Amino acid sequence: MPYETVIGLEVHCELCTKSKIFCGCTTRFGGAPNTQVCPVCSGMPGALPVLNRAVVEYAIRAGLATNCNITRNNKFDRKNYFYPDLPKAYQISQLYYPICTEGWIALEGKRVRIREIHMEEDAGKLVHDPWEDATLADYNRCGVPLLEIVSQPDMRSAAEAVEYIEKLKAILEYTGVSDCKMQEGSLRADVNLSVRPVGQKEFGTRTEMKNLNSLRAIARAIEAETARQIELIEDGGRVTQETRRWDDDRGETYAMRSKEDAQDYKYFPEPDLPPIEISEEQINALRASLPELPEAKKRRYREELGLPEYDTGIIAGSVPLVRLFERTCAICGDAKEAANWVMGEVLRLLQATQTLPEHMAFEPDALGRLILLTQKNVINRGTAKKVFAEVFRSNVDPEAYVKEHNLGLVTDDSAIRAVIADVLKQNEKAVDEWNRGKVQAMQFLIGQCMKALRGQAPAEKVSSLLRAMMGGDLQ
């Protein structure tokens, strides 16, 4: 029987605010363990939280950028559970009145609805290595602000789930809400998945796979869990609602715990924080401050700059590529050329060196300036590619590098003539053949001249000077 996969995602993203959600501690990643904590975020008795205003603004920006309604009167709730990396033994979150509701994100050809976005605090981290018999707790991450973005079960394949996350990630990056570094855990997804026979209206029972932190893992986990559920049902079994862990090395999911319900957490309104009131003016001001969003940018690249659909998707989908592309256009004034370079050499080198776009380390002006050198005929394309490889690798200055390595095109006629004269002297046989009417000899001689000039002269110029010097009117 053919089955359909049904997927809903809960995406957690850490906000780029400087300080934590309820105290002044820094949110910086990678500090020495327990150096970024205070009585509030380490759960000391009697310490009281104070809401960081920026968190509310970031949440509203995320909500507006994903077409949500903003809940003008919202509040926090207390979610009770004990976990060693949660020193308060409860998490401050939003259950009853999340700050954003009922939005959507456009994929190619469909919309995925967002049920809600709520604000909450992150937990700390447990460190199990390198001791066999001990687990250590690092509370630096406790209280780092999070948004949880909950979709409706609108996705039907791994490809759609990946596309949804890519689109969401671009929006969060564009709006400066989160840096979305999946490898550092600042964007992670819980995948809820069920299967049903094609044509059946009701959803099947779902499982939830928690904290997946790469697109590859998400796609593989979806494939594996879909296959597991179908097999289970085909064998006459039933899917149990539970939380499963994805083991990326083994390529399997395994049961972690049976799924808890909201009542298991004994949620109640957070008594230590007042409700949040958001004015219409505040919402309008934040709406007005939103940057051009990915979909609009894509459209503009296509309609105004005439870029191909495929290129617009790749470039507009990544903030670092957008920055590089727009800076390059501003410098060289040729959007098509700038896009060709980004889609060509930049992507090629990123791929070849397994570098993420956000880790490109070269001066953002360098590419535009390099293109200028080709436009002014200072260097040719082949040389430009070689120079760019150096720019990419070690951030060299294009002009200085060209000068230092003497890579500029020889454009001075007399200099080229001198080289040609030399080549003719050394290739009397070919000259002879040419004089006897053998047409191919000319190609050979042009080749020899270009070689002598190390490719650093405009080929058309070399060819016309050569012809002139040997009575080229023969041809």
Query: CB-based contacts of 360: which residues, under 8 Å, 6+ apart?
Result: 320, 324, 346, 350, 392
Options 6, 25, 146, 470; binder of Zn ion; rule CB under 5 A: 25
The yes or no reply on residue 10 touching ligand ADP (CB under 6 A) is: yes
Q: Which stretch binds Zn ion (CB under 5 A): 36-44, 82-90, 114-122, 283-291?
A: 36-44
The yes or no reply on residue 151 touching ligand ADP (CB under 6 A) is: yes
Residue 313 contact among ligand ADP, Zn ion, none, beta carbon within 5 to 8 Å by kind? none
Q: Which stretch binds ligand ADP (CB under 6 A): 32-40, 75-83, 191-199, 361-369?
A: 191-199
Residue 373 contact among ligand ADP, Zn ion, none, beta carbon within 5 to 8 Å by kind? none
Distance CA 391, CA 369 (A): 11
Number of residues that bind Zn ion (CB under 5 A): 5
**Window 96-135: residues binding Zn ion (CB under 5 A):** none
Closest separation between CB of residue 151 and ligand ADP, Å? Answer: 5
Query: Residue 385 has what DSSP assignment?
Result: H
Residue 88, SS3 per DSSP:
coil
Closest separation between CB of residue 52 and Zn ion, Å? Answer: 11
Instruction: Judge whether 321 and 315 are in contact, CB under 8 Å.
Output: yes
Distance CA 58, CA 35 (A): 26
What is the maximum span of the chain, computed from C-alpha positions, in angstroms? 102
Q: Which stretch binds ligand ADP (CB under 6 A): 47-55, 151-159, 174-182, 308-316?
A: 151-159
- 351-385 as b/e: b if 16+ CB within 10 A: eeeeeebeebebeeebbbbbbbbbeeebbbeebbb
Instruction: Judge whether 364 and 370 are in contact, CB under 8 Å.
Output: no
Torsion from C-alpha of 470, 471, 472, 475, nearest 10 degrees: -120
Q: For residue 424, how many other CB atoms are within 10 A of its CB?
A: 18
**Window 40-79: residues binding Zn ion (CB under 5 A):** 40-41
Options 3, 6, 37, 416; binder of ligand ADP; rule CB under 6 A: 6
Closest separation between CB of residue 118 and ligand ADP, Å? Answer: 11
Specify the residue for token string 């209206």: 201
Residue 194 contact among Zn ion, ligand ADP, none, beta carbon within 5 to 8 Å by kind? ligand ADP
Residue 38 contact among Zn ion, ligand ADP, none, beta carbon within 5 to 8 Å by kind? Zn ion
The yes or no reply on residue 63 touching ligand ADP (CB under 6 A) is: no
The yes or no reply on residue 239 touching ligand ADP (CB under 6 A) is: no
The yes or no reply on residue 150 touching ligand ADP (CB under 6 A) is: yes
Q: For residue 167, how many other CB atoms are within 10 A of its CB?
A: 19
Closest separation between CB of residue 262 and ligand ADP, Å? Answer: 6
Residue nearest to ligand ADP as judged by C-beta position: 8
Torsion from C-alpha of 138, 143, 149, 155, nearest 10 degrees: 10
Residue 192 contact among ligand ADP, Zn ion, none, beta carbon within 5 to 8 Å by kind? ligand ADP
Long-range contact pairs involving 434-439 (C-beta distance under 8 Å, separation at least 24): 434/470, 434/474, 435/470, 437/474, 439/475
Torsion from C-alpha of 352, 358, 361, 367, nearest 10 degrees: 80
Judged by beta carbon, residue 6 or residue 423, the one nearer ligand ADP is: 6
Closest separation between CB of residue 270 and ligand ADP, Å? Answer: 18
The yes or no reply on residue 178 touching ligand ADP (CB under 6 A) is: no
Q: Which stretch binds ligand ADP (CB under 6 A): 7-15, 168-176, 229-237, 337-345?
A: 7-15
Query: At 442, which helix (H) or strand (E)?
Result: helix 440-452
Distance CA 321, CA 94 (A): 35
Distance CA 397, CA 377 (A): 18
The yes or no reply on residue 193 touching ligand ADP (CB under 6 A) is: yes
Q: Which stretch binds ligand ADP (CB under 6 A): 119-127, 147-155, 247-255, 417-425?
A: 147-155
Residues that bind Zn ion (CB under 5 A): 23, 25, 38, 40-41
Residues that bind ligand ADP (CB under 6 A): 6-10, 150-153, 192-194, 203, 206
